Amino acid sequence: MTATPEVELPDSFDGAGTIHNPATGAVAGQVRWTDPADVPRIAASLREAQKEWEARGAKGRAKVLARYAVWLGDHRDEIERLLISETGKSAVDAAQEVPLLIMILSYYIKVVDKAMAPEQRPASLPFLSVKKVAVHYRPRPVVGIIAPWNYPVANAMMDAIGALAAGCAVLLKPSERTPLTAEVLLRGWIDSGAPDVLALAQGAREVSEAVIDNSDYIQFTGSSATGAKVMERAARRLTPVSLELGGKDPMIVLEDADVELAANAAVWGAMFNAGQTCVSVERVYVLEPVYDQFVAATVKAVENLKVGAGEGYHFGAQIDDSQVAITERHVNDAIAAGAKALTGGKRPEGPGSFYPPTVLVDVDHSMACMTEETFGPTLPIMKVATVSEAIRLANDSQYGLSASVFSKDIERAKAVALQLDCGAVNINDVISNLMCTTAPMGGWKTSGIGARFGGLDGVRKFCKQETVVAPRTNVGAGGNYYNNSHKALARMNKLMTKLALARPRRTAK
């Protein structure tokens, strides 16, 4: 879910921009760019509307979210047609996004009441039992979401759902490459009878900066380099951020793996959405005893893939020629350094930002295809002698988003998983952690800060915590206020000594 370098927008914001289908070059639609100077006004309007939205309570907001889920289901065909037109996706790739949103909505509709309920906390010491301690979750008024282009529907709203459920207003900045579907998503929100707590800011860098400057929390999905700039900008106002950034996700195939399963998982995980997925399989380490079998099965699976936009294809175009250029560079540099392309390896003639599914072997970590995020339909495979070597190479990366391990021995696979430096590991599967809304999805190292989802935390992350300490009884209240007599001090010191020493001593026994 990483972004490519930003598109240059015209200096004037009084006209519409034209969006082209990267598969055909045809016009997908028009969008009116937002003047960055208008963003403070948009944010102020959201901030005002948020008050009533919060006052509805969790159950009231859940009803609105339920209507929105129904609307998304009713308009799925329309959304997917636009997705294909805007991104050049295959129909099967486009078909994933709306159901994912409905799944997330269904989950948070059920748990939002519990997520926003005050939490009662026990007293830490006996003498504090005279107090009732409760932690309340208060929504941040305006959450700014800066979304990428690779999943214009899912990535635009998957975080917005949690924020809206919490009672926040959302200021969404879609990618300037894929702004059209966001307009439809906003229309659906309005048609669902929802209040004006969701708004769009269309544009590139200057609009993103204005969103950061006028929001109370920032959720950014994109490249690690841009994520660092987002965090730096947000730090000027101490605005908290959650960053889901780049990845170079490894797969490890042990010698006891189901090789056919692993090969097909690798192909799907690498080629799905033309490889333009943050948690795609970007490099594979295969134990020597099954290496040849794995490579053969992978090549066979790749040779059955059909590339093209719309129906009847496995995956479609890359988002534009700049993204194809990265894929080309990684493949060409690897081949020049001694790697072999067993499939693909060369951009086809003709229109469209397409690149063929490419299996690379004889690769190593001196090659960019094994160390830099490609974000394209490539699958580099490396032979390793031992499990420890596979783990070492998998961890030899600036990234740490997710990974996968294949073995028929699940406990052995778990042991390997817990030695990998990343936010999530799938065993005998790929990408499935993205569907697990009860678990956090976050990256280590330069793959991000914070996490999306995580059960109740997927709502609470957009809130401020407020502790309220109330008395259980008025007995003893004020007894120590400015009581600094010698007797009072001696009594306090004696009490504190007992409290500090008695409990650890009992525990030690």
Q: Distance between CA 255 and CA 5 in Å, rounded? A: 40
Q: Distance between CA 196 and CA 48 in Å, rounded? A: 10
Alpha helices in 306-354 (DSSP H): 321-336
Q: Give the CA distances from residue 463 to residues 40, 57, 143, in Å, rounded to whole numbers and listed in that order.
A: 21, 14, 10
- 61: its two tokens: 């907001």
Helix 76-87 / helix 57-74 crossing angle, nearest 10 deg: 70
Work out whether the CA dihedral 309, 273, 3, 33 comes out positive or negative: positive
Q: Distance between CA 260 and CA 295 in Å, rounded? A: 10
Q: Distance between CA 413 and CA 321 in Å, rounded? A: 39
Helix 288-303 / helix 259-271 crossing angle, nearest 10 deg: 50
Alpha helices in 173-287 (DSSP H): 180-191, 205-213, 224-235, 259-271
Residue type, 38: D
Q: Give the CA distances from residue 187 to residues 28, 75, 116, 386, 469, in Å, rounded to whole numbers and listed in that order.
A: 18, 11, 27, 54, 43
Q: Distance between CA 274 and CA 268 in Å, rounded? A: 10
For 117, which DSSP code? S
Which region holds residue 431: left if phi is over 0, alpha if psi is between -120 and 50, else beta?
left
Are 399 and 246 a contacting pair, CB within 8 Å? yes
User: Is 244 among the residues known to form the active site?
Assistant: yes
| Options 244, 282, 372, 373, the catalytic residue | 244
SS3 282: strand
> Measured between alpha carbons, how far apart are the two ends of the chain, in Å?
52
- 444: its two tokens: 């280590």
Are 355 and 327 a contacting pair, CB within 8 Å? yes
- 381: its two tokens: 């495979």
Closest CA to 220 of 148, 139, 319, 153: 148
Q: Distance between CA 154 and CA 160 in Å, rounded? A: 10
Q: Distance between CA 287 and CA 164 in Å, rounded? A: 46
- 491: its two tokens: 């009594």
Q: Around 373, how many Cα atoms within 13 Å sit in the side-chain half-sphere?
A: 27
Q: Which residues pair with 276 in a beta bridge?
A: none
> Catalytic residue numbers?
244
